[in-house]
Amino acid sequence: MTRALVIGESLIDIVGGDEHVGGSPLNVAVGLGRLGRDVDFLTHIADDPPGRRVAEYLKQSGVQLVPGSVTAARTPTAVAEIGAGGSATYTFDLQWQLSGTPEVAPPLFVHTGSIAAVREPGCLAVAALLDTYRVSATVTLDPNVRPSLSPDSDLVRRRIEHLVERADVVKVSDEDLAWIDPERAPEQTARAWLALGPAVVAVTMGARGCRAFCASGEAHVSARPVRVVDTIGAGDAFMAGLLDALWDLNLLGGDRRAALARIRVDELTSALQAAGLVSALTVGRAGADLPDRAALRAERPT
């Protein structure tokens, strides 16, 4: 088991008339691929010009598109409006569904989140796949909430909590936590999630950096100074960087679950710093343009 499996939506982001390949899970897969990791990506796109663009983008980033991913009637799109500070809001046109078991080797870990985790009918298949893979693989999750796609907020919250209970690593923004549980401070919800079963719950806080919780304690890392072009893909880049760091620490895989649960605060701090660098490089570029290994080495020479 030396490959990652990422499950989730891919789409075309339309930003001010420009078009970029995007989608939260796709960005995580691409981020890992550009860092030299072996990644399989299960998604739902069409055999149309946008879908072929997605497929080519994945190929160029070193990501293997899982057979059965090209079954949609049309490839999804998301129109992004960039606000103050580079933040983005989205209007989506997409359907999300999956069928069957992916034709891939048993993964070291499986990652999902965002629309794929909560939107029917595909979210039901995602939950079933996570239960299947959890026996032998680490499960990682980024809820990356999209309220505009979720008319039944209570159902979305229940589905997210269901996945948190099955996850080993959860990364979530403080804004998402404020929406998921507006009655509690984000760190309270994060600690409550940790008690549900994950080994690590990391909370990104934009310019205020990141806090993460584990059985050994709490880690905090400040945000790296950077000129922000936009924040599209910032959280996905952080997730990719975090997974890459945990991979380096040999803490991924079902047989490493106990070791991950014992992660030390200094190890977690180091992983957060690595993730923060990937995110900082991404927000300094237009769109979700995640860095490769060479870009990281240029910023963090050995």
Give the CATH number for residue 49. 3.40.1190.20
Q: What is the pLDDT of residue 103?
A: 82
Range 283-297 burial, b when 16+ CB lie within 10 A, else e:
bebebbbbbeeebbe
User: Coil, strand or helix: which one is 204?
Assistant: strand
Sequence-distant contacts of 52-58: CB under 8 A, at least 24 apart: 53/12, 53/21, 54/10, 54/11, 54/12, 54/21, 54/26, 57/21, 57/30, 58/10, 58/26, 58/29, 58/30, 58/33
Q: What pLDDT does residue 207 have? A: 87
What residue ranges of the chain have pLDDT lower than 70? Answer: 1, 82-88, 287, 300-302
pLDDT, position 302: 45
Structural domain containing residue 236: 4-299
Largest CA distance in the chain: 49
**Helices 24-34 and 49-60, packing angle to 10 deg:** 30
What percent of the chain stands above pLDDT 70?
95
Q: How many domains does the chain have?
A: 1
Q: Which distant-in-sequence residues (6+ apart) come within 8 Å of 268 by Cβ?
A: 200, 212, 214, 216, 219
Per-residue pLDDT at 38: 97
Beta strands 217-221; 210-214: pairing state: antiparallel
